[in-house]
Structure 1
Amino acid sequence: MRRNSGGTPKARALGAELREVRKNAGYSLRDLAKELEVSHVRLQRYESGETVPTSEFVAAYITTLGAPAQTRDRLTNMARDADKLDWLSTATSGARKELTTLIEFERSASHITEVATGVIPGLLQTSDYARAVMQHLSLDEIETMVLMRVGRREVLMKPKAPHLTCFISEAALLESIGGHAVMAEQLRHVVKMSEWDNVDVRVVRIGATSLHPAHMGSFILFEFPKATPIVHMEQYHSSVSLHNPGTAKAYQDAVTNLHEVAMSPEASAEFIANCADEKENDIDDTPPRMAEV
């Protein structure tokens, strides 16, 4: 029996993983539909997260593709509550799966708004900056994750690409994650990307005299053409994705508030370029290391 309450964060993530398993097995959508004796339209709805499959159907889907039992068990468990509006994901699911989920949200969104209070938004990160952010991972994991993170930028180049708006706290710009040279390059890259037609970058200055939404922490708001928005927040060891219409409206109002607080795109680009100049000056002023005896 089919469940129709799709479009939730977990349903979208489940669909993305099902699609990845199918493609890795070398099956087209129509070929797999024929094997399972269902319509390809039905499979397409499952893979887009529009409809939530039963755990029994997921088990048959994975078994037909010959994927490992571990994958089958994990995805069938995922399907059991994929129709719930909100989704708490812990670090046990793995950093790669977390990034896969974000990529799926970005792929289907029409507008992405990121409020970044600690680090530069992922879609704007350079390779070296991303490596510095991911230094807690193993070397093999870092390179895989960096390729995925930088590859996410392609979503902004596709036909009907989403519009990206980034509110970046001045505090995140003043940090030198990865060192002054890495940060200077990162800031130059942000300025360059802010020139894209579908990218707006706005700086939220520190020193405010009244509370505003950025004081409450980072979040990403994904808005879709025909579905309730998803709010995604990352913590140190977990993440949460919210799909409740009332919650989404509150975060949309928060974004409206930030437009009134933040600098204009033009002033923001100039401010970030000045920060990059300061980072480059810091490189020149860094004393040479003494040779070890």
Structure 2
Amino acid sequence: MANIQTLDPDASPLAYYGAELRRHREAQGLTQPQLGSAIFCTGSLVGQVETTKKVPTRDFSERVDAALGTDGVFSRLVGLVLRSQLPTWFQAYADMEAKATYISTYQAQVVYGLLQTEDYARALLTPGMPDDPDRLVAARLERQRILQREKPPLTWAILDEAVLYRKIGGPAVMRAQLQKLLDSSTNRWMRIQVLPFAAGEHASLDGSFNLLRFEDDPDLVYTEDLISGHMTANPETVREGSLRYAHLQAAALSVEESAARISRVMEERYGARP
């Protein structure tokens, strides 16, 4: 059983958050139940966050800032905490993704992480992650905040048609996920295309990949294998990735046709009209 007195604030962003929460709470003479009551949760949850048993959410952090008058300290810190919950091998990519001005992705199996609903993400992450999938779900949703910026990265997503049919989490989850794709496709910073089954053989039958572009840094290509991710700025690899992506765009349905295909699949397979 963890003891808050023995936690090292320098051990991790989560440990630092917990130590700071305890310090600010005690400075105002509040018990854990009293703070919990002020932010509409249990004192037990406050204690679990303080002892790193639970990862704080952004909503929790905003409520703490309001209750303790900490001028956004915890709202700023929670982003770092949630980023630290991503798999170690993925964190470098997430950092670069957050800096990119242009993201293009081809996904052969599932919806790209930045476009996933919470329920879809949880259904994906729960198998094989029995300890605490909520940590990874929260971290994935935190990644999506880059799309809420005043000037977000231009994001171009090509989804294999199989993604629309692969039932992740059940019909209700898929209805909501496909609706989110339709809603996202109306965003001026977002383009979504579907690569139809009719395309047959295509330029990336060997799997998904992402291309990142930046204002000042070299372009990157990112791929994943079974257990880790690989990122490279090798010019030849970037050039090959860009060429493949151009071929995929040419073979995919137009943005308008893609939205119609998503709507049709949602209605016919999951029983809903957008």
Pick the aligned partner of 2:187 from 196, 219, 244: 196
What is the percentage of aligned positions where both structures have the same residue? 29
Write the mapping of 1:181-260 to structure 2, written as runs, cut at 5 A: 181-209=172-200, 211-260=201-250
Structure 2 counterpart of 1:115: 106
State the 1:106 CA deviation. 1.5
Q: After superposition, what is the alpha-carbon deviation per residue over 1:123-146, rounded to whole angstroms, capped at 9, x for unaligned?
A: 110011101111234355310111
Q: With the length of structure 1 as denominator, give the TM-score of the two structures.
A: 0.62
Match of 2:117 among 85, 103, 126: 126
The reply to whether residue 278 of structure 1 matches residue 268 of structure 2 is: yes
User: Equivalent residues in 2 for 1:86-97 (5 A)?
Assistant: 95-97=86-88
Alignment match of 1:268 (pick from 254, 258, 263): 258
CA-CA distance at 1:164 after TM superposition: 0.4
Moved over 6 A (4+): none
Relative to structure 1, the CA distance from residue 262 to residue 225 in structure 2 (aligned partners, 3 Å threshold; closer, same or farther) is same
The one-letter code matched in structure 1 to 2:157 is C
1:113: Cα distance to partner?
A: 0.6
Distance in 1 separating the partners of 2:167 and 2:216: 40
Distance 1:24 1:106, change over 3 A: farther
Structure-1 separation of matches of 2:91 and 2:135 = 12
Return the alpha-carbon distance in structure 1 between the equivalents of residues 232 and 149 of structure 2.
26
Output the CA distance in 2 between the equivalents of 1:99 and 1:136.
Answer: 18
Q: Scaled by the length of structure 2, what TM-score is found?
A: 0.66
Q: Which deviations, in whole Å up to 9, do the C-alpha atoms of 1:183-220 show, x marking residues without a partner?
A: 111111111111111010000001334x3223221001
How far did 1:151 drift? 1.8
- Which whole-Å CA distance do the structure 2 matches of 1:228 and 1:137 have between them? 35
SS of the residue 2:261 aligns to: helix
2:127: which partner in 1? 136
Aligned length: 197
Q: Mark the runs of 5 or more structure 1 residues left unpaired by the alignment.
A: 1-17, 26-92, 283-293
- 1:227 offset after TM fit, Å? 1.7
Q: Which amino acid aligns with 1:220?
A: N
Which structure has more relative contact order (CA 8 Å, sep 6+)? It is 1
Counterpart-to-counterpart distance in 2, 1:128 and 1:198: 24
2:81 corresponds in structure 1 to: none
1:105 aligns with 2:96: yes
